[in-house]
Structure 1
Amino acid sequence: MMLMINGQPFHTPEDCSSMADLLALPQWRRAMVIVELNGAVLNSRQYDGTALTEGDCIEMVQVVGGG
């Protein structure tokens, strides 16, 4: 499936069907991110139940700590 992530086309593996699956990929594993799917901000509790579909637009901002 093809998604738009942060304005760039991204082809997902066949078994990537939910936001949780996407965030489990090596690029985002262990990353603390804020996710917007098609204009709606998702709560992390929604990731498992949020299905992805062809052409979804996703914005992900990685949260970094500092002081």
Structure 2
Amino acid sequence: MKYNIVFVNGQAFNCYQSMCLKDLLIYLNFDTNLVAVEYNKEIINSSFFDAVILKSQDCIEVITIAGGG
């Protein structure tokens, strides 16, 4: 099986060539309902996480949304 190298919050990560953004977030234990994601300098709506297929050298920034008062 072939892999791509993507960068998640600045760190290199090997992922399967057919992996989508949603699969990567779940694999990394992010709650997809509580994150904001920048994919190659573009904010991605969570409804499109499963449509974004990762490519080699993609840059992903994940920001966790925390509640509180």
**TM-score interval w.r.t. the shorter chain?**
0.7 to 0.9
Q: Which amino acid aligns with 1:22?
A: L
Which blocks of at least 5 consecutive residues in structure 2 are unaligned? none
Runs of 4+ in 1 over 2 A off after TM superposition: none
CA contact (8 A) 1:3 1:11 kept: yes
Percent identity for Structure 1 against Structure 2: 34
Ranges in structure 1 where 5+ consecutive residues have no aligned partner: none
Aligned length: 65
1:33 corresponds to 2:35: yes
**TM-score, scaled to structure 2:** 0.81
Deviation at 1:15, TM superposition (A): 7.0
For normalisation by structure 1, the TM-score amounts to 0.83
RMSD: 1.7
